[in-house]
Structures are given as structure tokens and as C-alpha cells.
């Protein structure tokens, strides 16, 4: 996911934003975008029964989107891949104390909750991509 700045450019022509140097970075971008936006959507549903949960969804969504923006800048550092992976894994695990343990966490009112399934799948993909990129990209 390392959006490495190009070398050999002077500072007057260098951009703050850069593209990923590895194809897995694009997969990570998509995963972060999907989970970030879906957490913001989930906040609109959660507000009906828990304001605190809705706030947590908003903060989590903004965390993913903020990380995505940071990744696309020259300020991204290799160690942040580990932060992204841990953040994603913690978010996956956070579902279970709130929704229940096991597969029941992915159900709401007896039906499969597509928001939960898609967000957790995107977070898993993001964690795998971040770990891969951490290992694949040298400092």
C-alpha cells in the first residue's frame, strides 16, 4: 500500500499525493474505501437504537477514510502498514462483543446482515494487503 513518492524530482514539482507502487495497494484502497463508507452508512441505521454505537461507526468509518487519504500522500511510512493491519483486525474483532459470538454476529433480526459481512470481508482484505505490502516494500 506504499504510495512512494518518485525520486529525482525537485521539491517545486513534487506532489503531496502519489499513486501506490504495488498493485496490492489498489486492492487495499478499494477495501478501505468500501469499509469506510459502509461504516458511515451503518451509523445512520445504528442511531435509531444506540447513539454511542452510531458515533463509534462514524469514527471507525472516518478512521478508514483518513488512513486511505494518508496512504495516498508522501507522508505514508512503511510502519503504517502494520498500523493499518492491526486497525483492521481490531475492527473485525470489535464486532463480536457487540453483536454476539460466532456466526450469529453476522445476523440481524434472523437475517444475514450484508453490511456486516461486506465490511468485515473488506477489513480482512485490507489487513492481508497491508501485511503483504509491509513485507514486500523496503524502507
Q: List pLDDT tens digits, range 34-49.
A: 999 999 999 998 888 8
Beta strands 107-108 and 111-112 are antiparallel
Look over the chain and give the mean of its residue pLDDT values, rounded to a whole number.
86
The DSSP symbol for 106 reads G
Res. 9 pLDDT band, cuts 50 70 90: very low
Please give the C-alpha separations between residue 18 and each of 6, 83, 84, in angstroms, as whole numbers. 8, 20, 18
Nearest C-alpha neighbor of 36 from the set 5, 71, 6: 71
Count of Cβ atoms closer than 10 Å to residue 121 Cβ = 14
Sign of CA pseudo-dihedral 45, 29, 10, 79: positive
116/118 Cα distance (integer angstroms)? 6
Break the chain into its structural domains and give their ranges. 23-136
**Statement: residue 131 has pLDDT above 90:** yes
pLDDT in tens, 18-72: 888 889 999 999 999 999 999 999 999 888 888 988 999 999 999 999 999 999 9
pLDDT, residue 10, reads 47
Amino acid at each position: 500500500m506504499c504510495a512512494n513518492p518518485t525520486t529525482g524530482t525537485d521539491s517545486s514539482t513534487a506532489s503531496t499525493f502519489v499513486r501506490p507502487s504495488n498493485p496490492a495497494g489498489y486492492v487495499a484502497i478499494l477495501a478501505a474505501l468500501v469499509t469506510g463508507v459502509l461504516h458511515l452508512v451503518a451509523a445512520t441505521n445504528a442511531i435509531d437504537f444506540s447513539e454511542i454505537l452510531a458515533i463509534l461507526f462514524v469514527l471507525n468509518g472516518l478512521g478508514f477514510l483518513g488512513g486511505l487519504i494518508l496512504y495516498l500522500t508522501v507522508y505514508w511510512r512503511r510502519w503504517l502498514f502494520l498500523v493499518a493491519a492491526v486497525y483492521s483486525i481490531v475492527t473485525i474483532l470489535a464486532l463480536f462483543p457487540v453483536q454476539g459470538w460466532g456466526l450469529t454476529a453476522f445476523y440481524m433480526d434472523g437475517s444475514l446482515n450484508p453490511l456486516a459481512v461486506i465490511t468485515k470481508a473488506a477489513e480482512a482484505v485490507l489487513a492481508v494487503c497491508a501485511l503483504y505490502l509491509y513485507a514486500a516494500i523496503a524502507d
